[in-house]
Structure 1
Amino acid sequence: MNLETLKDKLLIHLTGEEFIYLQKNFSTDLPKEKPDTISGKNYVYGIRGIAKLLGCSQSSANRIKKTGIIDKAIIQNGRKIIVDSELALELLKKSK
Structure 2
Amino acid sequence: MNIDPKKQLLQLTVGEFLGLLKNSVPEKKYEYGLKGLAKMLGCSRSKASLIKSSGILDDAIVQNGNLIIIDKDKAMQLLAKRKE
Q: Could you say whether these structures have the same fold, taking a TM-score greater than 0.5 normalized by the shorter chain as the test? A: yes
For residues 14-68 of structure 1, what are the alpha-carbon distances to aligned partners after superposition, in whole Å with 9 as ceiling and x for unaligned?
Answer: xxxxxxxxxxxxxxxxx988744xxxxx000000000000000000000000000
Higher-Rg member (1/2):
1
- Distance (whole Å) between structure 1 residues aligned to residue 34 and residue 26 of structure 2: 20
Alignment: residue pair count: 61
Which residue number corresponds to residue 34 of structure 2?
A: 47
Percentage of matched positions with identical amino acids = 51
Which residue number corresponds to residue 21 of structure 1?
A: none
Which residue number corresponds to residue 71 of structure 1?
A: 58
- 1:44 aligned partner, one-letter code: E
CA-based RMSD = 1.8
Which residue number corresponds to residue 10 of structure 2?
A: none
User: What are the ranges of 5 or more consecutive residues in structure 1 without an aligned counterpart?
Assistant: 1-30, 37-41
The structural deviation recorded for 1:86 is: 0.8
Higher relative contact order (CA 8 A, sep 6+): 2
- Distance (whole Å) between structure 1 residues aligned to residue 44 and residue 26 of structure 2: 24
